[in-house]
Every structure is written in structure tokens, then in C-alpha cells.
Amino acid sequence: MPISWEQPDIFPAIARIIAHSFESSGDFVTHETIVAALLNDSEAAPIIAHATEQSPEPHTSDWMAHNMAAWFSQRITVGGSDWAQRFERTKINGKWAYRPKSSSAS
């Protein structure tokens, strides 16, 4: 099965979205918020559109963005991601939510 997207192409956008959303809200950034932001992001949206077009399965852009966010979480869960050092996470409604780790020990 051909690969329609690469993790190194989208994961930096996900990390940027988490950091930006946290700056705005001050709270954990939910999976749904990440997905909505990916679909509207000027860097991520073309990657999602291309992946959707290239996918051997008939998926929507929304499905593809959910899949990308889920893979971001999965790579952290199995210990295969450097992003784990940048973010704290908790489950909200059964899905991982993120916020940047504090750089100060208060």
C-alpha cells in the first residue's frame, strides 16, 4: 500500500498548533481542536489535501487530519517520538490532549 503522507511532514505542524492553541487558551489542546486547526492551517491543509488525493482508500480530509493527529499520539505512546519531551498530555473524552511542558520549575 503506498504511503500518502509522512510523519515528519505533518508532526511539526501539529506541534506548532498545540503550542499556539495553548498560548491562546492556557489549557490542554484536545484532539478535536488539533484536527480543526490542521484543516485550516496554511502549511498542513495542502499536506492533508495531497494525502487525501493519494490515499488508496476513499477518505475525507477530516478523516485524514484525525488520522494524522492519532498517529502523533501513537508515536508518543509507544515511545517512538521526540515530541514526548516537549508536551504533557492527558486524556479528554478518551483522546489525548496536549500542552507544552513548562520550562520553569515552579
- Find the CATH number of the domain harbouring 63: 1.10.10
Domain membership of residue 24 (yes or no) is yes
* Counted domains in the chain: 1
Q: Does 90 fall in a domain?
A: yes
Digit-coded pLDDT (tens) for 11-23: 999 999 999 999 9
Residue 16 domain-assigned? yes
Q: What are the tens digits of pLDDT across the range 52-64?
A: 999 888 999 999 9
- Whether 80 is covered by a domain: the verdict is yes
Separation of first and last alpha carbons in the chain: 49
Cβ atoms of 48 and 68 closer than 8 Å: yes
Rg (CA), the chain: 14
Does pLDDT of 71 surpass 60?
Answer: yes
What's the pTM value of the predicted model, to 2 decimals? 0.91
2 in a domain, yes or no?
no
Residues spanned by the domain of 38: 7-100
Cα(101)–Cα(94) distance, integer angstroms: 21
Q: What is the pLDDT of residue 56?
A: 87
Q: Is residue 34 part of a domain?
A: yes
Which pLDDT belongs to residue 73? 96
